Amino acid sequence: MSVEALPTRQQRTLRPNRFWRQFKRLPILAILLLAPVVICGVFGPWLYPYDPTALDFANTVKPPFWVDGGSMAHLLGTDQFGRDLLSRLIEGARVTLVIAIVGVFGAALIGIPLGMIAGYYGGWTDNIVMRIVDTKMAIPATLVTIMIGGVLGGGLLTIVISVIMVFWAGYARIIRGETLVLAQSGYVALAKVANCSGFRILARHMFPNLLPTVTVLITLQLGRALLLEAGITFIGLGIQPPASAWGLLISEGRAYLSTAWWIPTFAGVAITLTVLGSNLLGDWLRDVLDPKMRTL
């Protein structure tokens, strides 16, 4: 190796500094908040201290271990049926992960193509799609959920379909606006001159440029999906006993709030922290993926 090829002292100093700058840009707090949900959702059955549905009437309404009367056997206490709260919270994280992934991505699979088609083709296609979107967005999410629950009954399927039906219109409206801007760009005009089909232009030329917006939208919708799931379950149309969900823990524990505060409180804290982590991750992705907001 020649002398010129050896890194100078200044270059050796800049490399750690560059790494540290990139590390500081990572959403550390968002990762810390979301990592427990992902870990519990994926590895839940191996993490349960107890069976989440096992009843133990000899240990009902036990407080957390740091409260008088609590024990290390049940770190976060037990509910009115003696079920271990930590195990039920872990099981609730699994339900949350399934709903967030299936529901939010299902809504994206419907809303994104419709928004792209409406924005690219315009005319009567745009009018039809956007009138459907306007009609959907005029109906409150709670009413949509109640109608779906009335047809399907309570359960995981009701929550997933509710999330899809509530969120797809938001994707369509935002992606349609982005597509209208991209449709006026030079590379789209050149693709048309090259006699590319509309499908090829949308899939190969426009969709990659929509990915930053899509990524941010999906991330931000994860927190909203969690809140919707908790609300649906709270009113009795979501996850049904003896299964476990964070919204169900709050619903069942509200009657014991004055005597056993830990039953609904830990589930409420889990929802709050997860939604916060989702929003922080979405904000970070927006800053990273938007060239106008990047800093050196």
How many Cβ atoms are within 10 Å of 13's Cβ, its own excluded? 11
pLDDT-derived band of residue 147, with 50, 70 and 90 as boundaries?
Answer: confident
CA 158/CA 160 separation, integer angstroms: 6
Q: Would you say residue 112 has pLDDT above 90?
A: yes
Kindly state whether residue 213 falls inside one of the protein's structural domains: yes
Burial degree of 10 (CB within 10 A; 0-12, 13-18, 19+): exposed
The two three-digit tokens of residue 162, written as one number: 């509710």
Q: Would you say residue 283 has pLDDT above 50?
A: yes
Kindly state whether residue 14 falls inside one of the protein's structural domains: no
Supply the CATH number for residue 254's domain.
1.10.3720.10
CA 14/CA 293 separation, integer angstroms: 24
Kindly state whether residue 195 falls inside one of the protein's structural domains: yes
Q: Would you say residue 230 has pLDDT above 50?
A: yes
What was the pLDDT predicted at 114?
93
Q: Would you say residue 15 has pLDDT above 60?
A: no
CA 177/CA 217 separation, integer angstroms: 14
Average the pLDDT over 109-117 and give the result: 93
Kindly state whether residue 64 falls inside one of the protein's structural domains: no
How many Cβ atoms are within 10 Å of 138's Cβ, its own excluded? 8
Beta bridge partners of 78: 84
Kindly state whether residue 24 falls inside one of the protein's structural domains: no
Q: Which of 13-22, 29-38, 59-68, 257-266 is predicted least confidently?
A: 13-22
What was the pLDDT predicted at 195?
79
Please, are residues 67 and 76 in contact by the beta-carbon 8 Å criterion? no
CA 142, distance to chain mean position in Å, is 19
Kindly state whether residue 237 falls inside one of the protein's structural domains: yes
Q: Which residues of 223-245 are buried (b: 16+ CB within 10 A; e: fewer)?
A: bbbbbbbbbbbbeebbbeeebbb
CA 83/CA 263 separation, integer angstroms: 10
What was the pLDDT predicted at 291?
55
Kindly state whether residue 50 falls inside one of the protein's structural domains: no
| Residue position matching structure tokens 């930053």 | 212
Q: Would you say residue 18 has pLDDT above 80?
A: no
CA 277, distance to chain mean position in Å, is 10
What was the pLDDT predicted at 21?
55
Kindly state whether residue 19 falls inside one of the protein's structural domains: no
HSE-up (13 A, CA, CB side) for residue 282: 17
Please, are residues 239 and 154 in contact by the beta-carbon 8 Å criterion? yes
Domain enclosing residue 194, as ranges: 32-39+77-293
Give the number of residues written for the chain. Answer: 296
Domains in the chain: how many in total?
Answer: 1
What was the pLDDT predicted at 8?
53
Q: Would you say residue 106 has pLDDT above 50?
A: yes
